[in-house]
Chains A and B, each alone.
Chain A
Amino acid sequence: MIELKGVRRRWGGFSLKGITLRVERGEYFVLLGPCGAGKTLLLETIAGFWRPDEGEIWINGRDVTHIPPERRNVGFVYQEYGLFPHLSVKENISYGLRARGYSRKERERRVREVVEMLGIEELLDRGEVGSLSGGEKQKVALARALAVKPDVLLLDEPLHSLDYSSRERAYAMLKEVNRGLNLTVIHVTHDYSEARALAGRIGVMNNGQLVQVDRPEEVFDRPKTAFAARFLGVENLFKGKIKRNEGGLLVMKVGGLEVKALGGGEVDPGGICIRPEEVRVSREPLSLGNDFEGVVREISDRGAFIRVSVDVGDVRFISHLPRRDFLRSHLSVGERVYLGFSPESACVLIDDEEEMDEPA
């Protein structure tokens, strides 16, 4: 269990602005945010590499705010893995055990245990760590961190330099480590598909602040801020004004359009966001709750999906159409089409930032 109580830390011109967070034992918590959001700084502060200027850090019910990193019992894996280049694979893995004064026999036993768990027995015979591939280095770094049986595991973009296929395998491995050892994990990344694949809960970070902490589904489907929405790949973000409440649905005025959205309370000024996957484009009329007519402006092939921009009056919607649907519909630029999305997929944002598009 990790508890942060109003942690502040200045670092040059940047600062962590009072982070308060509670991560339960055995939880897989992902810190998600763009580069420069302060994720790594926060992680390093938890590990004890930096003292917070203010606030407290508790690990497993122990106040570790003023305890040096070597006595916090945290495992740490960096993006570049940080393997000791002058030591062999085996020496790297047993480094922490040596530092803690385990006997040779005990060291052997623990190293064997951890390499068996990660399935990297054959790497033990490899001498230099320089000859390992990215995926192998990552596993060795993980084994090194796990060998000392840490209370929490802190991962700083550990999958960053892996290719797509080894990433999938790494997801499975990390989940296995998390569940099998009931180990608390904080994992930092800027890749939201990675966060979605791994997280039990997600904390979205921006500019030294935690802007939203929620279950992945909540964060993805109902982002609370324009920043979170844009960062999570939502392309339709509009400023809007609430006009009225219509049988549980909020009716918002976006440019010249009225959009129905499933909303919480009254917020003003506010905005609205719709995930592009939820926006459907068709030649036939649709009845999804929010139905408009527009003109196709741009079509671009993104492989897994087709990105279509449609102008409805003065509002430009982006739609991600599944490849097959697109091929079936034969859309072309300049064509008049029907566009629709359900009120459930339209999400009201509680704040108003420059991130949102102002309908012209």
Chain B
Amino acid sequence: MGRDKLGYAFAFGSVTAIHLLLLSRLMDWGTNLVNLCADLFFLCHGLIWSRRSKGFKWSIYLAGYLILFLLLVVYAGRSLLFPLLLILYAAVYRSPKLMGYLVIFILSILLLTPYWVQSLITFSLFYSVLLAVGGARGERFHLVMFALGFPLLCFILFPLLYLLFQSAPQTLAATLKRGDFRSALLTSLLTATITTLISLFFGVPLAYAMARMEFKGKRALESLLSIPILTPHTIVGIALLVMLGPKTPIGEFFRRTLGVSIAGSHLGVVAAQVYVSSPFLFFSAMNGFQSIDPKLERISRSLGASPLRTFFKVSLPLAAPSIFEGCVMTWSRALSEMGSLMVLAYHPFTISTFTYDVFTQYGLSEAQPVAILFLIICLWIFILLRWIREQPAAKAFIFSR
């Protein structure tokens, strides 16, 4: 016991002495003090954790110190980062999992300096998945497949994450106060919602009919309905303009009787969005209806429920998750529509046309905060919808009895 205490005192004493006597010549006293604290913390942790084990563990622990020193101070010259990482290192030394995150952190900072935040997030995600798969005794092959697809994941995550960290919060706040920004956001949310409601109202009955009926040419009809997904959207815009534009019979009819023009109005925005995004809802709903065992509907009929009642009490509740999914897809697709709007209704601005407009007029620096804000809002709504879907109360509502 006494020998231990003596040893501790010697260790602390010598570290302090080295700092005060030798290192004070190399650096200013403030930096020296910070480093001294980090070293003492490091030493303290090492002593606490390696009390029972001798030699080997100590040398690994000390090797980590050396590697950190070589990497950060000698190689990268980041002597200020060194004490911070040293403390982190000492703190997570006992946990290999946390140590993995630390290694990712250090490598991100050293090797991918300008992108370190997004690479830290992406690689940490990858590492977490690795840990989860490894912990679940998963098949190694699945892990290999995941690693093969990992570049794609990086490619999707990197630009968005990178963009998110490009603007100062002050710039974002200023952009948020802009009137044109707000009206574009409002237009987008409003039209996308109306689009979804219209698609819901017409798409669900159509999906049910197509799921239940068998007739010649049904496959062909389904292919026709996927045309809006397959066609380039500028072409869709041109087609709609030819059909609904100012000089066409329909456009003229709307202008004379209702006093509104379809092209260049909210009506046009909705028309274009319905055209390109309603198939998502239709196909999702149709899949939902098709996956219901038709025997359930027959049973319902035999119990005395009319076809209408059967639809609302059995088919619709059971297809509700698919329909909800379809709504989310349709809504997101409507929100992101750009190509056909450029042709049919460039004004009023929606999120995408507004961002594009700002970009072409004022360049990247102006467009960046706009894009970031839209990205944040879209992500937030998307996550919110996902979250709502998982709630028991929402499930009860969707499965309304």
B65 within 8 A of A: no
Partner of A145, one of B303, B313, B318: B303
Known: A86-B317, A86-B399, A87-B401. A80 touches B295 (CB 8 A): yes
Residues of chain A lying within 8 A (CB to CB) of residue B377: none
Complex CA distance for A145 and B303, rounded to whole angstroms: 7
B309 within 8 A of A: yes
Residues of chain B lying within 8 A (CB to CB) of residue A69: 298, 301-302
Complex CA distance for A95 and B305, rounded to whole angstroms: 9
Residues of chain A lying within 8 A (CB to CB) of residue B309: 99
A82–B303 contact, CB under 8 A? no
Residues of chain A lying within 8 A (CB to CB) of residue B183: none
B231 within 8 A of A: no
Partner of A75, one of B295, B298, B302, B318: B302
Residues of chain A lying within 8 A (CB to CB) of residue B314: 84
B296 within 8 A of A: yes
Closest to A150 in B: B302
A47–B300 contact, CB under 8 A? no
A14 within 8 A of B: no
**Residues 142-157 of chain A, each 1 if its beta carbon lies under 8 Å from chain B, else 0:** 0011001000000000
Complex CA distance for A78 and B302, rounded to whole angstroms: 12
Question: Size band of the B side of the interface?
Answer: 20 to 34
Complex CA distance for A44 and B303, rounded to whole angstroms: 14
A76 within 8 A of B: yes
Question: Which of B299, B301, B303 counts the most A-chain CB atoms under 10 A from its CB?
Answer: B303
Residues of chain B lying within 8 A (CB to CB) of residue A145: 302-303
Complex CA distance for A68 and B309, rounded to whole angstroms: 14
A96–B298 contact, CB under 8 A? no
Known: A82-B296, A84-B296, A84-B314. A70 touches B401 (CB 8 A): no
B53 within 8 A of A: no
**What is the count of residue pairs linking A and B with beta-carbon distances less than 8 angstroms?**
68
Tally of chain A residues near chain B (CB < 8 A): 28
B298–A47 contact, CB under 8 A? yes
Closest to B293 in A: A82
Shortest CB-to-CB span from A150 to chain B, Å, is: 8
Shortest CB-to-CB span from A111 to chain B, Å, is: 13
A115 within 8 A of B: no
A85 within 8 A of B: yes
Known: A85-B318, A86-B318. A96 touches B303 (CB 8 A): yes
Shortest CB-to-CB span from B261 to chain A, Å, is: 46
Question: Which of B299, B307, B309, B318 counts the most A-chain CB atoms under 10 A from its CB?
Answer: B299
Q: Could you list some 6 contacts between A and B, CB below 8 A?
A: A69-B301, A70-B305, A70-B306, A82-B296, A99-B306, A145-B303
18 further A-B pairs in the complex, CB-CB below 8 A; given A86-B399, A91-B401 = A48-B301, A48-B302, A49-B301, A69-B301, A70-B306, A75-B302, A76-B298, A76-B299, A84-B300, A84-B314, A86-B317, A86-B318, A86-B401, A87-B401, A95-B300, A95-B303, A95-B305, A96-B304
Interface residues of B (CB under 8 A from A): 293, 295-296, 298-307, 309, 313-314, 317-318, 399, 401
Interface residues of A (CB under 8 A from B): 44, 47-49, 68-76, 78, 80, 82, 84-87, 91, 95-96, 99-100, 144-145, 148
